[in-house]
Amino acid sequence: MIELRHVSRNFNGKTAVDDLNFKLYPGETLGIIGQNGAGKSTTFRMIMGFISPSKGQILINNKLIDEKVRGTFGFMPEERGLYQNETIINQMTYFGELHGMSHLNLRTNLRKWMKKLDVVGNFNDKIKDLSKGNAQKIQLIAVLMFEPRLIILDEPFSGLDPVNAELLNDAILESKRKGSMIIFSSHSMENVEKVSDKILMLKHGKTVLNDEIKNIYKGFIREYLTINGVQNTEFFKKYNGVSDIKQMKNGNIKMKLVNERIGRIIFKDIVKEYGYVPLFNQSYPSLEEIFKRKAVD
Protein backbone atom coordinates (compact mmCIF):
# COMPACT_ATOMS: atom_id res chain seq x y z
CA MET A 1 0.00 0.00 0.00
CA ILE A 2 1.16 3.52 -0.78
CA GLU A 3 -0.16 6.32 1.40
CA LEU A 4 0.18 10.09 1.33
CA ARG A 5 -0.52 11.70 4.71
CA HIS A 6 -1.15 15.45 4.81
CA VAL A 7 1.40 16.08 2.06
CA SER A 8 2.07 19.68 1.01
CA ARG A 9 4.70 21.29 -1.19
CA ASN A 10 5.61 24.98 -1.37
CA PHE A 11 7.76 26.77 -3.93
CA ASN A 12 8.96 30.28 -3.07
CA GLY A 13 6.03 30.90 -0.77
CA LYS A 14 3.43 29.48 -3.19
CA THR A 15 1.60 26.24 -2.42
CA ALA A 16 1.69 23.73 -5.30
CA VAL A 17 0.12 20.85 -3.35
CA ASP A 18 -1.92 21.44 -0.19
CA ASP A 19 -2.68 18.75 2.44
CA LEU A 20 -2.94 15.82 0.03
CA ASN A 21 -4.15 12.47 1.41
CA PHE A 22 -4.83 9.15 -0.30
CA LYS A 23 -4.25 5.41 -0.01
CA LEU A 24 -3.75 2.96 -2.86
CA TYR A 25 -3.56 -0.81 -2.51
CA PRO A 26 -1.99 -3.48 -4.79
CA GLY A 27 -4.14 -4.04 -7.87
CA GLU A 28 -5.76 -0.60 -7.69
CA THR A 29 -5.60 2.30 -10.13
CA LEU A 30 -5.80 5.98 -9.20
CA GLY A 31 -6.54 8.57 -11.88
CA ILE A 32 -5.38 12.08 -10.99
CA ILE A 33 -7.15 14.84 -12.89
CA GLY A 34 -6.96 18.62 -12.85
CA GLN A 35 -6.17 21.58 -15.02
CA ASN A 36 -2.58 22.47 -15.93
CA GLY A 37 -0.77 23.64 -12.82
CA ALA A 38 -3.12 21.81 -10.45
CA GLY A 39 -0.26 19.91 -8.75
CA LYS A 40 -0.31 16.54 -10.55
CA SER A 41 3.31 16.46 -11.70
CA THR A 42 4.51 17.87 -8.37
CA THR A 43 2.76 14.98 -6.63
CA PHE A 44 4.49 12.46 -8.90
CA ARG A 45 7.90 14.03 -8.30
CA MET A 46 7.43 13.87 -4.54
CA ILE A 47 6.49 10.18 -4.69
CA MET A 48 9.54 9.46 -6.84
CA GLY A 49 11.80 11.37 -4.43
CA PHE A 50 12.89 14.00 -6.96
CA ILE A 51 11.64 16.67 -4.54
CA SER A 52 10.67 16.41 -0.88
CA PRO A 53 7.33 17.39 0.67
CA SER A 54 7.32 20.62 2.64
CA LYS A 55 5.00 18.86 5.08
CA GLY A 56 3.57 15.37 5.50
CA GLN A 57 4.71 11.83 4.77
CA ILE A 58 4.76 9.45 1.82
CA LEU A 59 4.75 5.82 2.96
CA ILE A 60 4.85 2.29 1.56
CA ASN A 61 3.26 -0.22 3.94
CA ASN A 62 3.49 2.38 6.74
CA LYS A 63 7.23 2.91 6.23
CA LEU A 64 9.08 5.84 4.70
CA ILE A 65 10.30 5.15 1.17
CA ASP A 66 14.03 4.56 0.68
CA GLU A 67 16.00 4.25 -2.54
CA LYS A 68 15.79 0.47 -2.55
CA VAL A 69 11.99 0.63 -2.50
CA ARG A 70 11.97 3.35 -5.16
CA GLY A 71 13.92 0.95 -7.35
CA THR A 72 10.70 -1.07 -7.59
CA PHE A 73 8.79 1.94 -8.98
CA GLY A 74 8.25 2.62 -12.68
CA PHE A 75 7.83 6.23 -13.80
CA MET A 76 6.98 7.70 -17.20
CA PRO A 77 7.25 11.50 -17.05
CA GLU A 78 5.26 13.84 -19.26
CA GLU A 79 8.57 15.01 -20.78
CA ARG A 80 9.66 11.85 -22.58
CA GLY A 81 13.29 10.91 -21.91
CA LEU A 82 14.60 8.38 -24.46
CA TYR A 83 18.06 8.68 -26.01
CA GLN A 84 17.32 9.41 -29.65
CA ASN A 85 20.53 7.98 -31.15
CA GLU A 86 20.35 4.68 -29.28
CA THR A 87 18.71 1.51 -30.59
CA ILE A 88 15.65 0.10 -28.88
CA ILE A 89 17.59 -2.88 -27.50
CA ASN A 90 20.47 -0.76 -26.16
CA GLN A 91 18.02 1.65 -24.55
CA MET A 92 16.00 -1.13 -22.94
CA THR A 93 19.13 -3.00 -21.82
CA TYR A 94 20.23 0.11 -19.95
CA PHE A 95 16.89 0.50 -18.19
CA GLY A 96 16.62 -3.24 -17.54
CA GLU A 97 20.06 -3.38 -15.91
CA LEU A 98 19.05 -0.54 -13.59
CA HIS A 99 16.35 -2.85 -12.28
CA GLY A 100 18.48 -5.99 -12.14
CA MET A 101 16.93 -7.80 -15.12
CA SER A 102 18.90 -10.56 -16.83
CA HIS A 103 19.53 -10.12 -20.56
CA LEU A 104 17.38 -13.15 -21.37
CA ASN A 105 14.49 -11.92 -19.26
CA LEU A 106 14.82 -8.44 -20.69
CA ARG A 107 14.73 -9.58 -24.31
CA THR A 108 11.79 -11.90 -23.63
CA ASN A 109 9.76 -9.18 -21.92
CA LEU A 110 10.69 -6.57 -24.51
CA ARG A 111 9.58 -8.83 -27.35
CA LYS A 112 6.32 -9.60 -25.52
CA TRP A 113 5.49 -5.96 -24.87
CA MET A 114 6.44 -4.78 -28.37
CA LYS A 115 4.02 -7.33 -29.78
CA LYS A 116 1.32 -6.52 -27.23
CA LEU A 117 1.53 -2.77 -27.93
CA ASP A 118 1.86 -3.30 -31.68
CA VAL A 119 5.18 -1.43 -31.96
CA VAL A 120 6.23 -0.93 -35.56
CA GLY A 121 9.98 -1.52 -35.41
CA ASN A 122 12.62 -4.02 -34.33
CA PHE A 123 15.29 -4.27 -31.64
CA ASN A 124 17.97 -2.55 -33.71
CA ASP A 125 15.94 0.47 -34.82
CA LYS A 126 17.08 3.78 -33.38
CA ILE A 127 14.62 5.76 -31.29
CA LYS A 128 14.90 8.77 -33.60
CA ASP A 129 13.68 6.67 -36.54
CA LEU A 130 10.44 5.67 -34.79
CA SER A 131 7.17 7.53 -35.15
CA LYS A 132 6.11 9.62 -32.16
CA GLY A 133 3.50 7.03 -31.19
CA ASN A 134 5.92 4.10 -31.38
CA ALA A 135 8.57 6.01 -29.40
CA GLN A 136 5.94 6.65 -26.74
CA LYS A 137 5.15 2.95 -26.61
CA ILE A 138 8.84 2.13 -26.12
CA GLN A 139 8.96 4.64 -23.25
CA LEU A 140 6.00 2.86 -21.69
CA ILE A 141 7.62 -0.55 -22.15
CA ALA A 142 10.68 0.73 -20.27
CA VAL A 143 8.34 1.23 -17.30
CA LEU A 144 6.25 -1.94 -17.57
CA MET A 145 8.73 -4.63 -18.58
CA PHE A 146 10.25 -5.19 -15.12
CA GLU A 147 6.75 -5.48 -13.52
CA PRO A 148 7.11 -2.60 -11.04
CA ARG A 149 5.42 -2.52 -7.69
CA LEU A 150 4.16 1.02 -8.33
CA ILE A 151 3.61 2.50 -11.80
CA ILE A 152 3.35 6.27 -12.25
CA LEU A 153 2.34 7.58 -15.68
CA ASP A 154 2.19 11.33 -16.33
CA GLU A 155 -0.13 12.03 -19.29
CA PRO A 156 0.48 8.62 -20.94
CA PHE A 157 -2.35 9.07 -23.48
CA SER A 158 -1.05 12.39 -24.83
CA GLY A 159 -0.83 12.31 -28.62
CA LEU A 160 -2.13 8.75 -29.02
CA ASP A 161 -4.90 7.91 -31.48
CA PRO A 162 -7.93 5.93 -30.19
CA VAL A 163 -6.54 2.55 -31.28
CA ASN A 164 -3.21 3.06 -29.51
CA ALA A 165 -4.94 4.60 -26.49
CA GLU A 166 -6.95 1.38 -26.19
CA LEU A 167 -3.73 -0.68 -26.34
CA LEU A 168 -2.35 1.45 -23.53
CA ASN A 169 -5.54 0.94 -21.52
CA ASP A 170 -5.15 -2.83 -21.93
CA ALA A 171 -1.51 -2.64 -20.80
CA ILE A 172 -2.48 -0.69 -17.67
CA LEU A 173 -5.22 -3.19 -16.85
CA GLU A 174 -2.84 -6.14 -17.32
CA SER A 175 -0.36 -4.62 -14.87
CA LYS A 176 -3.23 -3.97 -12.48
CA ARG A 177 -4.29 -7.63 -12.65
CA LYS A 178 -0.73 -8.64 -11.78
CA GLY A 179 -0.95 -6.57 -8.60
CA SER A 180 0.81 -3.35 -9.50
CA MET A 181 -0.43 -0.10 -7.96
CA ILE A 182 -0.98 2.41 -10.76
CA ILE A 183 -1.21 6.20 -10.54
CA PHE A 184 -1.67 8.22 -13.70
CA SER A 185 -2.77 11.62 -14.88
CA SER A 186 -4.72 12.38 -18.02
CA HIS A 187 -6.84 15.06 -19.65
CA SER A 188 -8.79 12.28 -21.38
CA MET A 189 -11.73 11.69 -19.06
CA GLU A 190 -12.86 8.75 -21.19
CA ASN A 191 -9.61 6.90 -20.53
CA VAL A 192 -9.68 7.84 -16.85
CA GLU A 193 -13.17 6.34 -16.54
CA LYS A 194 -12.09 3.12 -18.25
CA VAL A 195 -9.18 2.17 -16.01
CA SER A 196 -9.54 4.01 -12.67
CA ASP A 197 -10.81 2.53 -9.42
CA LYS A 198 -10.33 5.84 -7.64
CA ILE A 199 -10.29 9.47 -8.75
CA LEU A 200 -8.34 12.35 -7.25
CA MET A 201 -9.06 15.82 -8.61
CA LEU A 202 -6.77 18.72 -7.75
CA LYS A 203 -7.52 22.40 -8.20
CA HIS A 204 -4.71 24.86 -7.45
CA GLY A 205 -3.12 22.13 -5.33
CA LYS A 206 -6.22 21.50 -3.24
CA THR A 207 -8.25 18.28 -3.30
CA VAL A 208 -11.79 18.73 -4.67
CA LEU A 209 -12.58 15.06 -5.37
CA ASN A 210 -11.06 12.00 -3.72
CA ASP A 211 -13.04 8.77 -3.76
CA GLU A 212 -13.84 5.57 -5.61
CA ILE A 213 -15.25 6.44 -9.00
CA LYS A 214 -18.58 4.70 -8.26
CA ASN A 215 -19.04 6.89 -5.18
CA ILE A 216 -18.20 10.08 -7.08
CA TYR A 217 -21.08 9.45 -9.48
CA LYS A 218 -23.43 8.85 -6.56
CA GLY A 219 -22.82 12.43 -5.46
CA PHE A 220 -24.89 13.52 -8.47
CA ILE A 221 -28.34 12.64 -9.81
CA ARG A 222 -29.18 10.76 -13.00
CA GLU A 223 -30.00 14.01 -14.74
CA TYR A 224 -29.43 13.12 -18.40
CA LEU A 225 -31.98 11.16 -20.42
CA THR A 226 -31.30 9.63 -23.84
CA ILE A 227 -34.13 8.01 -25.83
CA ASN A 228 -34.32 6.37 -29.22
CA GLY A 229 -37.59 5.43 -30.90
CA VAL A 230 -39.52 8.65 -30.36
CA GLN A 231 -39.26 10.95 -33.36
CA ASN A 232 -41.18 13.96 -32.04
CA THR A 233 -39.29 16.20 -29.59
CA GLU A 234 -42.57 18.01 -28.88
CA PHE A 235 -43.64 14.96 -26.86
CA PHE A 236 -41.22 15.98 -24.09
CA LYS A 237 -41.93 19.71 -23.90
CA LYS A 238 -45.05 19.16 -21.79
CA TYR A 239 -43.02 18.05 -18.78
CA ASN A 240 -41.96 20.61 -16.18
CA GLY A 241 -38.29 20.24 -15.25
CA VAL A 242 -37.14 19.05 -18.68
CA SER A 243 -34.67 21.24 -20.59
CA ASP A 244 -32.06 21.17 -23.36
CA ILE A 245 -34.09 18.80 -25.56
CA LYS A 246 -31.96 17.92 -28.57
CA GLN A 247 -32.53 15.73 -31.62
CA MET A 248 -29.22 14.01 -32.45
CA LYS A 249 -28.05 12.95 -35.89
CA ASN A 250 -28.12 9.28 -34.87
CA GLY A 251 -31.83 9.52 -34.09
CA ASN A 252 -31.44 9.80 -30.33
CA ILE A 253 -33.20 12.50 -28.35
CA LYS A 254 -31.29 13.87 -25.38
CA MET A 255 -32.53 16.08 -22.56
CA LYS A 256 -31.68 17.25 -19.06
CA LEU A 257 -33.91 16.58 -16.05
CA VAL A 258 -34.26 18.66 -12.92
CA ASN A 259 -34.69 15.48 -10.85
CA GLU A 260 -34.71 11.71 -11.32
CA ARG A 261 -38.46 11.32 -10.65
CA ILE A 262 -39.30 12.98 -13.99
CA GLY A 263 -37.50 10.15 -15.79
CA ARG A 264 -39.84 7.60 -14.25
CA ILE A 265 -42.88 9.63 -15.32
CA ILE A 266 -41.58 9.94 -18.89
CA PHE A 267 -40.84 6.22 -19.04
CA LYS A 268 -44.40 5.28 -18.04
CA ASP A 269 -45.88 7.73 -20.58
CA ILE A 270 -43.65 6.45 -23.40
CA VAL A 271 -44.58 2.83 -22.71
CA LYS A 272 -48.25 3.83 -22.71
CA GLU A 273 -47.91 5.84 -25.93
CA TYR A 274 -45.40 3.77 -27.94
CA GLY A 275 -45.28 0.42 -26.20
CA TYR A 276 -41.58 -0.04 -26.91
CA VAL A 277 -38.46 2.06 -27.49
CA PRO A 278 -35.05 0.50 -28.23
CA LEU A 279 -33.17 2.91 -25.95
CA PHE A 280 -34.08 4.58 -22.67
CA ASN A 281 -31.00 5.58 -20.69
CA GLN A 282 -31.10 7.86 -17.65
CA SER A 283 -27.52 8.58 -16.61
CA TYR A 284 -25.26 10.50 -14.28
CA PRO A 285 -23.14 13.35 -15.64
CA SER A 286 -20.00 12.04 -17.35
CA LEU A 287 -16.66 12.38 -15.59
CA GLU A 288 -15.80 15.11 -18.09
CA GLU A 289 -18.91 17.05 -17.09
CA ILE A 290 -18.12 16.59 -13.39
CA PHE A 291 -14.57 17.78 -14.05
CA LYS A 292 -15.81 20.93 -15.78
CA ARG A 293 -18.23 21.73 -12.97
CA LYS A 294 -15.60 21.28 -10.28
CA ALA A 295 -13.03 23.25 -12.26
CA VAL A 296 -15.22 26.37 -12.27
CA ASP A 297 -16.65 26.09 -8.73
Q: Report pLDDT digits (tens) over 189-246.
A: 988 998 999 999 999 999 999 999 999 998 999 999 999 999 889 999 999 999 999 9
Tell whether the model's pLDDT for residue 159 goes beyond 90: no
> What interhelical angle do 162-177 and 132-144 show, nearest 10?
0
pLDDT band at 83 (very low <50, low <70, confident <90, very high): confident
pLDDT at 209: 94
Tell whether the model's pLDDT for residue 80 goes beyond 80: no
Residues 52-74 have pLDDT tens digits of 999 999 999 999 999 899 989 99
pLDDT at 223: 96
- H/E stretch holding 167 reads helix 162-177
- H/E stretch holding 141 reads helix 132-144
pLDDT band at 262 (very low <50, low <70, confident <90, very high): very high
Tell whether the model's pLDDT for residue 79 goes beyond 90: no
Residue 274, amino acid: Y
Tell whether the model's pLDDT for residue 104 goes beyond 80: yes
pLDDT at 13: 87
- Give dist(CA 46, CA 30) in Å, integer: 16
- Give dist(CA 209, CA 32) in Å, integer: 10
pLDDT at 82: 84
- Give dist(CA 88, CA 140) in Å, integer: 12
pLDDT at 42: 96
pLDDT band at 158 (very low <50, low <70, confident <90, very high): confident
Residue 8 pairs in a beta bridge with: 55
pLDDT at 81: 74
- Greater model confidence, 38 or 82: 38
Burial label for 16, CB within 10 Å (0-12, 13-18, 19+), is buried
pLDDT at 205: 95
Instruction: Report the share of the chain in percent with pLDDT over 90.
Output: 76
Query: What domains can be seen in the chain, in order of their start residue?
Result: 2-213 (3.40.50.300), 220-296 (3.30.70)
Residue 58 pairs in a beta bridge with: 4
Asked whether 152 and 183 are in contact (CB, 8 A), the reply is yes
pLDDT band at 167 (very low <50, low <70, confident <90, very high): very high
pLDDT at 280: 96
For 37, the 3-state DSSP assignment is coil
Q: Find the radius of gyration of the CA atoms of the chain.
A: 23
The mean per-residue pLDDT over the stretch 15-19 comes to: 96
